[in-house]
Amino acid sequence: IVEVVKHPVEPYVGHLQFDTLTDPFFTHIKASFFAAIFVTFPIIIWQIWAFVGPGLYKREKRLMWPFLLFSFPLFVGGGSFCYFVVFPFAVQFLVNFDKTLVPSLRIGDYLSFVLTMTFVFGMVFELPLISLLLTRVGLLTPEWLSKYRRYAIVIIFVVAAILTPPDVVSQIALALPMCLLYWAGILFSQFAVRRRKEREVAADAPEAG
């Protein structure tokens, strides 16, 4: 796991370093801990659902099923996009920003950076699903999302600047997918409203015979 985490940066800086005696040990413990949470996430979600599900109404259960089915694949997609697309550009830009400086990266700091970025991208990719869920409970409408899309784009770039390292590449690499996912959220919201109207029409239609 640690070798996979180190792979994007080692071609540029060589071997990562540590400055405290316990760093190598706790780095492996930390990597194993988060990998265990990642791998068992579907089981964790299922166990939470098994506890909460019996206390919900049928309508509430229907609202939660898309989240249960698609939250993990979307999170994996966001983390994979970060690792395979964003990291190579971000690492290359940051390491070569000032070639008069010699990189000397600590393994603990680098691991925290990787985990933070992966988690952020994973959560960002949940935006369409969150839009769908909020629309189905009546808190969002596709009209509202479309009306405030310009403000949303500005907020997205500000949030991307806060969540990513202080470089333009990482900010744009996070902001552009967020903008695309915002538009995907509008489409998901429109789909939820259309399905709700279809159910209402079907419920109001007179029974045959």
Could you give the C-alpha distances from 108 to 101, 114, 116, 199, in angstroms and in order?
20, 10, 12, 53
Contact 121, 78 (CB under 8 A): yes
Name which of 63, 39, 206 is nearest 133 in CA terms: 63
List, for residues 110-163, the tens digit of each pLDDT value. Answer: 888 888 888 888 888 888 888 777 777 777 787 888 888 888 888 888 877 776
134 Cβ partners below 8 Å, 6+ apart? Answer: 140
In the structure, what pLDDT confidence band is assigned to residue 166 with cuts at 50, 70 and 90? low
Residues 6+ positions from 157 with CB-CB distance below 8 Å: 171, 175
| pLDDT at residue 204 is higher than 70 | no
CA separation for the pair 185, 130 (Å, rounded):
8
pLDDT at 29: 92
- Under the banding of pLDDT at 50, 70 and 90, the label for residue 5 is confident
Within 39-98, strands assigned E span none
Reported as a single tens digit per residue, the pLDDT across 177-201 is: 888 888 888 887 887 778 777 766 6
Which has more pLDDT, 206 or 158?
158
Mean pLDDT of 35-58: 82
